[in-house]
Amino acid sequence: MTATPTRTPAPKTPKVNSIGLEKNAYKGGESTLCNGCGHDSISSRIINAAWESGLDQTQVVKFSGIGCSSKTPAYFLGMSHAFNSLHGRMPSIATGALVANKTLTGIGVSGDGDTASIGIGGFKHMVRRNVPMVYVVENNGVYGLTKGQFSATSDKGQKLKYAGVNNFMPLDVCLEALAANATFVARSFAGDAKQLEALLKAAFSHKGLAILDVISPCVTFNNHDDSTKSYNWGKEHEIQLHELNFVPSFEQIEIDEYDDEREVQLHDGSWLLLKKLGEDYDPTNKILAYQTLEDARRDQRLLTGIFYIEPETPDFNDLLHTVDTPLALLTQAETRPSREALKHVMEAL
């Protein structure tokens, strides 16, 4: 009997990104969410987008409020600092942190309850200030963590096992963001990996606040086929506004004039390529964005893509003229006014 010669395959060199890290390095702790929860898919998309964009995790800071969605920053980018704040208060914490250090890349994760119910005030003010951050709303139309109550994005007429029938009109996160003068408004679906990753990468390259309303089914409390936040409904009703491609600034591209493509250059030199699908959509036209969102809402279509973008509008730190050095690293000589200054104030009183 002759032994079959076995060949040991050459060790595969692990794939690394532009800063030499494997994808595994972008993971976080083990998720404690329900199996199949949309929020876990979004975490995977964030891991992919951050890895492919070569984000330096030590320069990223994660924020969240309270909810199943708000637990997820523990499950991605494990090397980054994170702050799990109070319910609906993520915008305040994030605004403070990103003003204190404007060199950081901020990513906030919130839920529909966290953003549209208790946190709607903070949300709108963060939008109007254009705080530079990626803001992901993991929208399942329900309070998941507290076991299935209606949120402000629940459909009118929706039935839930414990909560009964919802008689109130929902808020539309994208419309609320537009009305508050958002500079980047997009919607996606947790089940649409390709589009969500492209949107996340574009959001990381955006200069101000990027709002991503991601429909993210709650398999435990709101996954009935007639719910607009369920997997089946989403799969059947998702209509993409455009086919979306993101080209990072470190890749050379030739932009040709194609009839069916529209490109938008982002502040950091990267490109968003929007390939025309059914409709000819211009994402820099705000009135069109309102119209499109309102039509989609009335026609019960899950329209996804970028509704609106202003790539060059000044962000919060531009308007505040904050210094480049993180405030915590300024020396006392730089932050404490002089004796003369105090004397001057005292004399003026």
Partner 1 sequence: MAIDALNLAERLQTPVFVLSDLDIGMNLWITEAFEYPEKPEDRGKVLTAEQLAAFKENHNGQRWGRYLDVDGDGIPYRTLPGTRNPQAGYFTRGTGHTEYATYSERPEVWEAMLKRVEKKFDTARHLVPAPIVEENPDARIGIITMGSNHPAVVEARARLDKGGVGSAYLRLRALPIDESVREFISRYDRIYVVENNMDGQVATILRAELPDLAGKLVSLAKCDGMPLSARWITEQIAATE
Ligand X SMILES: Cc1ncc(C[n+]2csc(CCOP(=O)(O)OP(=O)(O)O)c2C)c(N)n1
- Give the interface segment with ligand X, choosing from 41-49, 112-120, 160-168, 304-312 (CB under 6 A): 112-120
Q: Going residue by residue from 80 to 119, which x/- string records binding to ligand SF4, judged by CB under 6 A? A: ----------------------------------------
Residue whose structure tokens are 């964005």: 289
Q: For residue 87, state whether it binds ligand X (rule: CB under 6 A).
A: yes
Residues 6+ apart with CB under 8 A from 76: 26, 27, 28, 43, 44, 46, 47, 50, 62
| Interacting residue with Mg ion among 85, 95, 101, 140 (CB under 5 A) | 140
C-beta of 139: minimal distance to Mg ion in Å?
A: 7
Q: Is 304 a binder of partner 1 (CB under 8 A)?
A: no
| Whole-angstrom distance, CA of residue 111 vs CA of residue 118 | 10
Query: Which residue in 42, 68, 107, 131 binds ligand X (CB under 6 A)?
Result: 68
Contacts of 291 (CB under 8 A, 6+ apart): none
Total residue length of the chain: 349
Buried b (16+ CB within 10 A) or exposed e, 29-56: eebebeeebbbbbbbbbbbbbbbbbebe
Task: Give me the 15-54 binding string for ligand X, x by CB under 6 A, dash otherwise.
Answer: ----------------------------------------
Q: What is the DSSP letter of 152?
A: T
Span from 110-118, 121-129, 173-181, 326-334 in contact with ligand X (CB under 6 A): 110-118
**16 is an interface residue for partner 1 by CB under 8 A:** no
Q: Is 61 helix (H, G, I), strand (E, B) or coil?
A: strand
- Helix, strand and coil content of the chain, in percent to the nearest 5, comes to 35, 20, 45
Tell me the window of 1-9, 102-110, 127-135, 138-146 that interacts with ligand SF4 (CB under 6 A).
138-146
* Residue 81 binding: pick among ligand SF4, Mg ion, partner 1, none (C-beta 5-8 Å cut-off by kind): partner 1
Binding stretches for ligand SF4 (CB under 6 A): 33-34, 37, 39, 68, 140, 144-145, 218-221
Binding stretches for Mg ion (CB under 5 A): 111-113, 140, 144
